[in-house]
Chain A
């Protein structure tokens, strides 16, 4: 409750100071969005030539891309710049200021910034989600809508956990930016396509080791009815919220371990 109250105080001030930059603020929204337009165009170009990849049609592949983008966008609003700020603080030696405040540094990290940058992504993703649903002839009743939202939230937590874990590396390495980029804009890009197109080893890794498959593949299985594509176990899609919670808990533990290390070394 206290957290939400503080959040409600911090965010308007954050926006006020950002909008003072005027034009740049609105350009932030446009920049990343253009990137996605290009990506959709590539999928369109590719799929109109090959029709299907491994039995997946264009709109199903677009749905994969969209879900990856949507869950990442939501997680990134709350964690991405917040974690890069932490890295910057650790590097510059200003992280101490989070440790002299009467508030959990994890909470402080979240509330002092807002990734308005990613709101553009979310808008595009929601639009494309509606579009893909329409093209695939999918419709959700009340029960399946609730289930779909629950697995999406699980996916958001998975995305958030990866941002927190890769970002927390700065407590050991001082610089974590390249690791973050590698995980969030390298490994995660594997999920732009259905994970079932990869070999068994990679499927296993993306399900059990770096469970990125839970950001789009397993959630999508719930609504796509592609039972022939079930990987490992048919109940895995239903495990998404639990996987998200577990991974996020691990992320918080890694953050705390990093904090302990910082308090041991002060650098």
Chain B
């Protein structure tokens, strides 16, 4: 049986219509008009024990809303969520015992309390036995290095320290599932790497199921075996990362600095290269890396121009999602990425 089952999950929010002008505003005091906004629209998926799932999509796509329904914070408008056989919003407390949650922007710890005391309170709240608490603390300390700030009040921690403390608190009670909402947001490279390492170890050694949302492609690449892409409340893609990148991340961008201005070339265009923004001596080129190799292009250019510098950029996750979205809108008529770039 799957650990998490989500079927036709839907969440609508009623939002008051904003009015401009004096009279419409006065009218709205008496008669309020509402509009329905669908944040999550008929999403279905199952997640098995031990999976590490990246739940990605643009801002406002419905990621956090879905996670909040899985955690039990929000009640769905319709559809089914079952975690460990329990309906989270009906058995919120029972469900909370078995999960850990970290919301990147907001701490779950007690604000004015020193980290070590905050963790001790977590121990009491989750009824964690002494030996398990000591063992986990020692283990987590090795990776997260909590000692250096354990006596500092949570409110005085730096973002990176706070995130490490929150991760520790979320995993002390050995949860089956841990939900991480943007766990690496705003962190420096070193802390990001440390946190990724921690998540990897927890998953490998304890078989903890991890569900994380992120905007950082590296999080996905280094951690996730599976990716779910959501946009406008709909699940756009559910599968492994490689397939996603091959299907939709095939457009590569190259920036070339040349001594003389670069002239558009029909020959390059025929090779499948599209010209993007050109300013002075810097030229942007996009191409499908599955049909043409960057070395072929750079060789062609170097034979004709003197090249000062060039950069090859892989497609960003946001671009992949956009391409995926366009593709899904026109389902039935598969659009190749190359044609899109030319549009």
Give the B-binding residues of A (Cβ under 8 A).
5-6, 9-10, 13-14, 16-18, 92-94, 96-97, 99-104, 112, 260, 263-266
The 8 closest A-B pairs by CB, nearest first: A102-B96, A102-B97, A100-B101, A97-B108, A99-B73, A17-B112, A9-B124, A263-B75
Q: Report B151 CB to chain A, min CB distance, Å.
A: 11
Report B-chain residues with C-beta under 8 Å of the C-beta of A265: 13-14
Among B93, B94, B97, B126, chain A packs the most CB atoms within 10 A around the CB of B93
Determine which of B72, B94, B99, B106 lies in contact with A93 in the assembled complex, contact meaning CB atoms within 8 Å: B106
Q: Is B25 an interface residue (CB 8 A)?
A: no
Known: A93-B106, A96-B103, A103-B93. A266 touches B65 (CB 8 A): yes
18 contacts between A and B (CB under 8 A): A9-B121, A13-B121, A17-B114, A17-B117, A17-B153, A94-B107, A99-B72, A100-B73, A100-B101, A101-B108, A102-B93, A103-B93, A103-B96, A103-B125, A104-B93, A263-B75, A264-B74, A264-B75
Given contacts A96-B68, A96-B103, A266-B65, contact A101 B125 (CB under 8 A): yes
What residues of B have a CB within 8 angstroms of the CB of A92 in the complex?
A: 106
Q: Indicate if B92 sits at the interface (CB-CB under 8 A).
A: yes
Query: How distant is the Cα of A239 from the Cα of B204 in the complex, in angstroms?
Result: 62
Whether A13 and B72, one on each chain, are in contact in the complex, defined by CB atoms closer than 8 angstroms, is no
Mostly, the A contact residues are helix
Q: Which residues of A contact B93 (CB under 8 A)?
A: 102-104
Q: Is B42 at the interface (CB under 8 A from chain A)?
A: no
Query: Number of B residues contacting the other chain (C-beta, 8 Å)?
Result: 32
Shortest distance between the CB of B156 and any CB in chain A (Å): 11
Residues of B near A94 (CB, < 8 A) are: 106-107
- Tell me the bound Cα distance from A9 to B121 in angstroms: 7
Give A16 to B118 CA distance when docked, in angstroms.
12
By a CB distance below 8 angstroms, the chain B residues around A96 are 68, 73, 103, 106
Q: Which B residues fall within an 8 A CB radius of A?
A: 13-14, 65, 68, 71-75, 89, 92-94, 96-97, 99, 101, 103, 106-108, 110, 112-114, 117, 120-121, 124-126, 153
A13, B113: Cβ atoms closer than 8 Å: yes
Q: Are B112 and A101 in contact (CB under 8 A)?
A: no
Complexed CA–CA distance, A264 and B69 (Å): 10
Check A97/B112 contact, CB under 8 A, given A10-B121, A266-B68. Answer: no
Q: Which of B74, B107, B126 contacts A97 (CB 8 A)?
A: B107
Residues of A within 8 A of B153 (CB): 17
Q: What is the bound-complex CA distance between A17 and B112, given in angstroms? A: 6
User: What A residues does B68 contact at CB under 8 A?
Assistant: 96, 266
Q: Which of A9, A94, A99 has the most CB of B within 10 A?
A: A99
Q: Given contacts A10-B121, A93-B106, A96-B106, could you give 12 more A-B pairs where the C-beta distance is less than 8 Å?
A: A16-B117, A17-B114, A17-B117, A94-B106, A96-B68, A97-B103, A100-B73, A102-B94, A260-B75, A264-B74, A265-B14, A266-B73
CB-CB < 8 A to B103: which residues of A? 96-97
Contact check, B96 vs A100: say whether CB atoms are below 8 A apart.
yes
